[in-house]
Chain A
């Protein structure tokens, strides 16, 4: 039986860039513990001499000629941005954290 701690949940959430509130923590912890315990049944299988399959396709690298082709116009690419300015995506200040924007 796998054990997942509150600290594990906090660490995973930080890696995944997900905020987790105190009241949500236990639900994530118990779910993770339940499914991780379930998937450990794979340990019943001896896979020492088995190669992993990352893709079901046997194709080699698919290449195309390096030619310039039309791509999404800048204004279309920016249309869905939550915030934009002067043709760029706009985000809160990254270095100084004393003043943000929304």
Chain B
């Protein structure tokens, strides 16, 4: 899509030596966004972005610019932004103006990034195609008849089409890695707790993380450097020290032990994806990495475990949309109960209601132990799978998705088949582990293929190192 792009570090030096300005860059991106027909954005923040860009230019002049000065960033519409409409892809929040900034939004602005708009998404993060948006579906920049993946499909499409240098998304079961794979860019889900979720509208709180999209691995490291760390407003944010993510990024992969799970290469995987991933693994071995066959026997149980836990948590989290404090309220209301029932019926889309129903069912009397507790026990088994695997390897590598981007409308009436497309991405979240997807070429239809690298908790620096080797050696 954007082969001639420069890394942010290259852009930063052009800004610093006066070859370009933040305002010029922001204007170029806004023009491209306005010309684009991908429907990647729900709200474009042109004036606000240009004001910020001019402020950044003054700071560059005076030598006081922040570490992301002039980086043009798109932000998924799941993040609250003070005085900006924040819809979460839902009709129920169609007129909601957030009264405060998400922690990551504050950090981006403090670092002098330029936020150019709020991106389209599956409603409340629920979906794998961005077709569940109340604001229309998003097109894949590589083929307008295909989905960009989801739920952070707007952010992924925006970065792939160079409508932003980088973007924020959120990843609950794969909502950053899967669209990154299908759009041919890098997408990181950090360790649970690595980035504060204050102001990230909740879907499934034991799984939700902030996620990052970029064209280059190095840009992703730049972003995480600014966003990682503890925050008093999110008690799940971790006090684990934040390393320098660039320190070892070019160290290469000699001696690295790479776990290759046999369960990730079985039936259901496109042969083109299988070949591409195996080519990369062979190149890694040639470079001096040690391939280690491993077993993750819980892989087949990941989706069942994931959908029980995420829907239970969603049914609880989405109880807050009661048409009282904020959000859409139905008209012709006679009493309180009808207000709840009608407003939620008219305000939520089909997939959100399906998940609230399933979650309510698995938490209800008589089913709680059989489904919800059972799933939490299976989550323990999934964690143990990874723990055992990491005794024998440093990273685990496999495909990100079983297929490349599917056609718009292809799975929209078949939720179960949509869920099954998340098979490789749902287990890392259940174990709280970080994983990154990066592009490794295209299939016969010219659609991008992604490879997924997973590490033990808080080893994002290792993920960057491996991803950077794959990106730069281009095997």
Contacts and interface: CB of A to CB of B under 8 A. Distances in A.
Interface of A: 8-9, 11-13, 15-21, 28, 31-32, 34-36, 38-39, 41-45, 47, 50-57, 59, 62, 64, 72, 76-77, 79-83, 89, 91-94, 97, 100-102
Contacts of B96: 80
A16 B360 contact: yes
Contacts of A54: 206, 376
B306 to A, nearest CB: 10
B222 interface: no
Contacts, number: 164
Most B C-beta atoms less than 10 A away, residue of A20, A42, A43, A101? A42
Nearest to A15: B360
Contacts of B324: 81-82, 89, 91
Given A52-B373, A80-B96, A16 B333 contact: no
29 contacts: A15-B360, A17-B322, A17-B337, A19-B344, A31-B354, A32-B354, A34-B416, A36-B371, A38-B416, A39-B308, A42-B304, A42-B305, A45-B378, A47-B377, A51-B380, A52-B373, A54-B376, A56-B206, A56-B430, A59-B238, A80-B96, A80-B97, A80-B327, A81-B326, A82-B323, A82-B327, A82-B328, A82-B329, A93-B335
Contacts of A43: 374
Contacts of A57: 192-193, 236, 238, 432
Q: Which 6 A-B pairs have the closest CB atoms?
A: A56-B432, A52-B376, A80-B326, A82-B329, A19-B345, A19-B341
A28 B99 contact: no
A15 to B, nearest CB: 5
Contacts of A17: 319, 322, 337, 340-341, 344
The B interface, classified by DSSP as helix, strand, loop or mixed, is: helix
B361 interface: yes
B102 interface: no
Most A C-beta atoms less than 10 A away, residue of B307, B357, B380, B430? B357
B345 A18 contact: yes
Interface in B349-375: 353-354, 356-358, 360-361, 364, 371, 373-375
A35 B371 CA distance: 12
Contacts of A93: 335-336
Nearest to A44: B301
Nearest to B297: A45
Given A35-B415, A92-B335, A100-B335, A76 B99 contact: yes
A20 B325 CA distance: 23
A102 B333 contact: yes
Interface string B294-338: 000000110111011000000100010011111111011111111
B327 A55 contact: no
Nearest to B100: A72
Contacts of B323: 82
Contacts of B336: 91-94
Interface string B420-441: 0000000000111000000000
A93 B235 CA distance: 37
A50 to B, nearest CB: 4
A44 B326 CA distance: 44
Nearest to A50: B377
Interface of B: 95-97, 99-100, 192-193, 206, 232, 235-236, 238, 300-301, 303-305, 307-308, 315, 319, 322-329, 331-342, 344-345, 348, 353-354, 356-358, 360-361, 364, 371, 373-381, 383, 415-416, 419, 430-432
B327 A53 contact: no
B99 A45 contact: no
Given A28-B354, A31-B354, A39 B379 contact: no
B381 A45 contact: yes
B315 A16 contact: yes
Contacts of A36: 358, 361, 371
B416 to A, nearest CB: 6
A8 B338 CA distance: 20
A10 to B, nearest CB: 11
Contacts of A101: 333
A48 B332 CA distance: 51
Contacts of B377: 47, 50-53
Contact of B358 (A11, A35, A53, A56): A35
Given A35-B415, A51-B380, A89-B325, A72 B99 contact: yes
A38 to B, nearest CB: 6
Nearest to A9: B357
A16 B356 contact: yes
Contacts of B381: 45, 47, 50
A57 B96 CA distance: 32
A84 B133 CA distance: 29
Contacts of B326: 80-82
